[in-house]
Structure 1
Amino acid sequence: MHLVELQSERLRFEPYTISDFYFVKSLLQDPRVMRFISPDGRPYTDEQTIEWFERQLARYETGRQTGLLKLMTFESDEPIGHAGTLLHDLDGKLELEVGYWLSPKHWHMGYGREAAARLMQYAFTEGEKEIISLIHPDNVPSQRVAKANGLHWDRDTLYQNMLVSVYAGDLERLCRHIDRQQMTR
């Protein structure tokens, strides 16, 4: 994959730039957001935030993943979160994950589900066969999003010293599932 900009029904996806650092900092230093993301459940320090942001910008240069893309609605240029596909070495196998983080004021509005669905469709058009989501075992809302998009629980495993539930799916089947859902709206 390469540097991309995508759209869905309500969302625009754009690569981060240096000017987005303070928005990213607001996510990484919010205890509600980081509760299920950081290994210890705590917000990142300034130093961790800088390292994370630099690592994220480097992801735009590497192959199959989109990296995390800034999410905005069509009504506003204000970022609401980010979503993307990321490569992870998980249990000795390189796997493509679809993930998203949203600002708390944008939770429970269907944006996570919509973003993940669009990214899965994009990954499929780019020739990917399978996708996973890594979700904290206690993060029930994200588990619901994964299931709504057709992913199924595959296993629990350790990733970066944190127990995660792996939700997985075959992209061809998932994209048919998503297309059927969109036709019934």
Structure 2
Amino acid sequence: MPGPFTDTIETPRLVLEPLGVHHADEMADVLGDPRLHRYTGGEPLTPAELRARYERLVTGPSPYHQEQWLNWIARRRRDGRAVGTVQATVTPADGGPRASVAWVVGMPYQGFGFASEAAVALVDWLTAHGVREIVASVHPDNLASATVARRAGLRRTTRYAGDEAVWSNIRDGGY
């Protein structure tokens, strides 16, 4: 598994900076549109709720969980504006570490390829750090996220996690 991370990941248009509690107020604005929850459920968090969530994420799971929570804020290079987040939960598995990944881009920044660029960078970073299998759960009706998963090198499998299709970089009867 990757060691403790402090890496900033850079792409042509984005800088993925490790998540900090101080990002909560800024990200509450980016993630505040209820339409972002169309496929995932729930509703936007207030700045205080997001700060509490980020405190838990930055602290990480209890040591006995044998998993790592890796989270980044995606910023546009040209102006430093936060546009979204990417995350990975890395767990030990037979044959090498496994990561479950996710991404979200604020409504005003959708349609510009930021989610794909950030997800590709995340998958590349995880692969370079020895993660063998990478999966994402995508609601079957969320065509935009399916496109992001495909661009990140994932293929839809025949598996489901709840009502979401599992996408993976490992072939297992996917289509």
TM-score bin (small chain) = 0.7 to 0.9
CA deviation string 1:138-175 (max 9, x = no partner): 211101111233311112222xxxx221101139xxxx
Q: Is the 8 A contact 1:65 1:96 kept in 2?
A: no
Deviates more, 1:143-152 or 1:98-107: 143-152
> Which residue of the other structure, out of 13, 30, 34, is the alignment partner of 2:33?
30
Identity among equivalent positions (%) equals 22
> Which residue of the other structure, out of 105, 110, 119, is the alignment partner of 1:107?
110
Q: Which has the higher helix share?
A: 1
2:169 paired with 1:169: yes
- Indicate how the Cα distance of structure 1 residues 44 and 77 shifts in structure 2: closer, same or farther if over 3 A, else same: same
Q: Give the distance between the partners of 1:11 and 1:66, measured in 2 at CA.
A: 21
Aligned residues: 161
Alignment of 1:123-138 (within 5 A): 123-138=126-141
Q: Give the distance between the partners of 1:157 and 1:26, measured in 2 at CA.
A: 29
Q: Give the distance between the partners of 1:30 and 1:52, measured in 2 at CA.
A: 17
Q: Is the 8 A contact 2:73 2:82 kept in 1?
A: yes
One-letter identity of the residue aligned with 1:52: R
Q: Name the residue aligned to 1:57.
A: 58
Deviation at 1:84, TM superposition (A): 2.6
TM-score, scaled relative to structure 1? 0.74
TM-score, scaled relative to structure 2? 0.78
One-letter identity of the residue aligned with 1:132: V
One-letter identity of the residue aligned with 2:151: A
Q: Give the distance between the partners of 1:5 and 1:124, measured in 2 at CA.
A: 15
One-letter identity of the residue aligned with 2:166: V
Task: Give the match's secondary structure for 1:26.
Answer: helix
Q: Is the 8 A contact 1:68 1:84 kept in 2?
A: yes
Deviation at 1:55, TM superposition (A): 2.2
Which ranges in structure 1 are unaligned for 5 or more consecutive residues?
Answer: 172-185
Q: Give the distance between the partners of 1:136 and 1:27, measured in 2 at CA.
A: 21
One-letter identity of the residue aligned with 1:102: V
Q: Name the residue aligned to 2:161.
A: 157
- Indicate how the Cα distance of structure 1 residues 148 and 96 shifts in structure 2: closer, same or farther if over 3 A, else same: same
2:74 paired with 1:71: yes
Q: Name the residue aligned to 2:45.
A: 44
Q: Is the 8 A contact 1:87 1:95 kept in 2?
A: yes
- Indicate how the Cα distance of structure 1 residues 60 and 126 shifts in structure 2: closer, same or farther if over 3 A, else same: farther
Q: CA RMSD in A?
A: 2.9
Task: Give the match's secondary structure for 1:85.
Answer: strand
Which ranges in structure 2 are unaligned for 5 or more consecutive residues?
Answer: none
Q: Is the 8 A contact 2:68 2:91 kept in 1?
A: no
Deviates more, 1:108-117 or 1:146-155: 146-155
2:11 paired with 1:8: yes
Deviation at 1:65, TM superposition (A): 4.4
Deviation at 1:36, TM superposition (A): 2.2
